[in-house]
Amino acid sequence: MDRTTSTIPLSTNPINGDGRLKIALQKSGRLSEMSVGLLEKAGISLTKSRDQLFCRAHNFPLDVFLVRDDDIPAFLVTDVCQVGIMGQNVLWEKQALFTEKYTTLEEVIALGFGHCRLSIAAPTSFTYNSVESLNGKTIATSYSGLLATYLRDRGVEADIVTMEGAVEVAPRTHLADLICDLVSTGNTLTSNGLQEQEVILQSQAILVKNSNLNEDIQVIYEKLLSRIRAVLRADNSRYIMLNSPIAALDSIKAVLPGSASPTVMPLQGREDMVAVHAVCEEEVFWTTMEELQRNGANSILVVPIEKMLD
Ligand code: ATP
Ligand code: ZN
């Protein structure tokens, strides 16, 4: 991954700029594809510029800045951008390190991707009993703010070695006794002979906004947020269609997951059966479909929903 620091444009307008909302996304990394994909699902088409740092949406008043994820909070507090997508871990780390600087940043909504946890891990040869085992030890991390807070809250005294990357090699190279790093599957830890011992926090990608938006930008932001909410709802919802015996309607409705009021329609030529259509705001599992079938339903179809607006 590119380790160069993104350059923050110097000519920033402190009152939200030129009437277009500006959003900061990770340029290249684990959140990039999903972040751009989210905007695309929200019907926003982007044209990339040649330097690939800046995109303009041509069907929505939005400009996109593609930067390193660690720089996104600074883009927001300086009003270069008014919203951004980042891991909760990034926002909370900045807020832990600089208690005054990032107070205007608000977490708006969790986006359901980029799930990970910040964990303390020890070499498998290390005898770990509890957080007390960390006393007097050296811990390598890129999250010194969050780690220091965690240790302080538990009265543990340990030395923190701040590293920008490749934290997992620190114990092997004797730079530190343990590490504190982001984990998703745990494969990187295992392949480096490390074992997860404490979870400091759970994280996922979030939409973050700067609290001082002017009226015009606020309107655009609300429209974007409403579309993002709609995309997230549609992603988590399924449209279910089935045929049900009239006599079994109540029990079938009771089995339909996360659906308040299904549509019930007559089936031509069938006095005893009706068609039931419902939006289920949660996953429909095979076990649920089998239960519907046991209750007398047939021709059960579950389809994804592309767009959804109340
Ligand atoms: P950049 O070049 O933008 O600074 P980076 O190397 O700091 O990139 P990535 O590794 O792309 O960042 O991770 C971006 C975000 O993805 C993290 O801040 C975190 O929120 C999330 N994430 C999800 N799973 C993991 C994981 N296993 N390791 C690291 N980050 C993860
Ligand atoms: Zn980063």
pLDDT in tens, 209-220: 999 899 999 999
- Ligand 1 atom with the smallest distance to the CA of 26 is 3
Instruction: Tell me which residues have their CB closer than 6 angstroms to ligand 1.
Output: 1-2, 26, 29-31, 68-70, 87, 89-90, 114, 116, 182-184, 203
Confidence band of 99 (pLDDT split at 50, 70, 90): confident
According to the 3-state scheme, what is the secondary structure of 269-290?
Answer: CEEEEEEEEEEECCCCCHHHHH
Residue 74 lies in a domain: yes
Tokens of 305: 């929903």
Residue 4 lies in a domain: no
Q: Do 185 and 76 fall within a single domain? A: no
36 CA from centroid of ligand 1 (Å) = 15
Q: What is the Cβ-side half-sphere exposure of residue 265, based on CA atoms within 13 angstroms?
A: 9
Q: Do 148 and 276 fall within a single domain? A: no
- Ligand 1 atom with the smallest distance to the CA of 165 is 6
240 CA from centroid of ligand 1 (Å) = 36
**CA dihedral sign, ordered 56, 78, 224, 201:** positive
pTM of the prediction? 0.88
Ion ligand 2, residues whose Cβ is below 5 A away: 69-70
- Ligand 1: which of 90, 182, 194 to mutate, judged by most atoms within 8 Å of the beta carbon? 182
Q: Do 230 and 244 fall within a single domain? A: no
Examine the pLDDT at 6 and tell me if it is beyond 60.
Answer: no
Which residue's alpha carbon is nearest to atom 4 within ligand 1? 68
195 CA from centroid of ligand 2 (Å) = 23
Q: Are 219 and 100 in contact (CB under 8 A)?
A: no
Q: How many domains does the chain have?
A: 3
> Rounded CA gap, 52 and 66, in Å?
7
204 CA from centroid of ligand 2 (Å) = 14
Q: Do 101 and 150 fall within a single domain? A: no
With a CB cutoff of 8 Å and minimum separation 6, the contacts of 257 are 280, 282, 283, 284, 285, 288
> Rounded CA gap, 36 and 25, in Å?
8
CATH of the domain at 72: 3.40.190.10
- Ligand 1: which of 4, 30, 206 to mutate, judged by most atoms within 8 Å of the beta carbon? 30
Confidence band of 1 (pLDDT split at 50, 70, 90): very low
Q: What is the mean pLDDT of residues 46-50?
A: 74
Q: Do 166 and 265 fall within a single domain? A: no
Residue 1 lies in a domain: no
118 CA from centroid of ligand 2 (Å) = 14
Confidence band of 15 (pLDDT split at 50, 70, 90): low
- Ligand 1 atom with the smallest distance to the CA of 185 is 27
Residue 309 lies in a domain: no
> Rounded CA gap, 300 and 298, in Å?
5
Which residue's alpha carbon is nearest to atom 20 within ligand 1? 87
User: pLDDT tens, 23-42?
Assistant: 999 999 999 999 999 999 99
Which residue's alpha carbon is nearest to atom 18 within ligand 1? 87
- Ligand 1 atom with the smallest distance to the CA of 88 is 20
Confidence band of 3 (pLDDT split at 50, 70, 90): very low
Task: Return the pLDDT at 309.
Answer: 82
User: pLDDT tens, 239-278?
Assistant: 999 999 999 999 999 998 877 789 999 999 999 999 999 9
Q: What is the mean pLDDT of residues 97-120?
A: 95
State the DSSP string of 40-96. Answer: HHTT--EEE-TTSSEEEESSSSEEEEEE-GGGHHHHHHTTS-SEEEEEHHHHHHHHH
Averaged confidence pLDDT in the chain? 92
- Ligand 1 atom with the smallest distance to the CA of 30 is 11
Which residue's alpha carbon is nearest to atom 5 within ligand 1? 29
Q: What is the mean pLDDT of residues 52-72?
A: 93
Q: Do 197 and 223 fall within a single domain? A: no
Comparing CA positions, the residue from 42, 57, 84 lying closest to residue 223 is 42
Looking at all shown ligands, the one closest to residue 3's CA atom is 1
Q: What is the mean pLDDT of residues 182-191?
A: 96
Examine the pLDDT at 51 and tell me if it is beyond 80.
Answer: no
**CA dihedral sign, ordered 120, 178, 113, 108:** positive
Residue 150 lies in a domain: yes
Domain hosting residue 182, numbered range: 116-203
CATH of the domain at 288: 3.30.70.120
- Ligand 1 atom with the smallest distance to the CA of 184 is 27
Q: Do 33 and 163 fall within a single domain? A: no
Q: Do 190 and 223 fall within a single domain? A: no
Task: Return the pLDDT at 260.
Answer: 72
Q: What is the mean pLDDT of residues 97-107?
A: 93
Q: Do 16 and 94 fall within a single domain? A: yes
8 CA from centroid of ligand 1 (Å) = 20
Looking at all shown ligands, the one closest to residue 182's CA atom is 1
Residue 5 lies in a domain: no
> Rounded CA gap, 236 and 258, in Å?
11
Q: Do 196 and 120 fall within a single domain? A: yes
Q: Are 96 and 146 in contact (CB under 8 A)?
A: yes
Q: Which of 234, 250, 284 is the last residue of a domain?
A: 234
Q: Do 105 and 216 fall within a single domain? A: yes
Confidence band of 134 (pLDDT split at 50, 70, 90): very high
Q: Do 273 and 263 fall within a single domain? A: yes
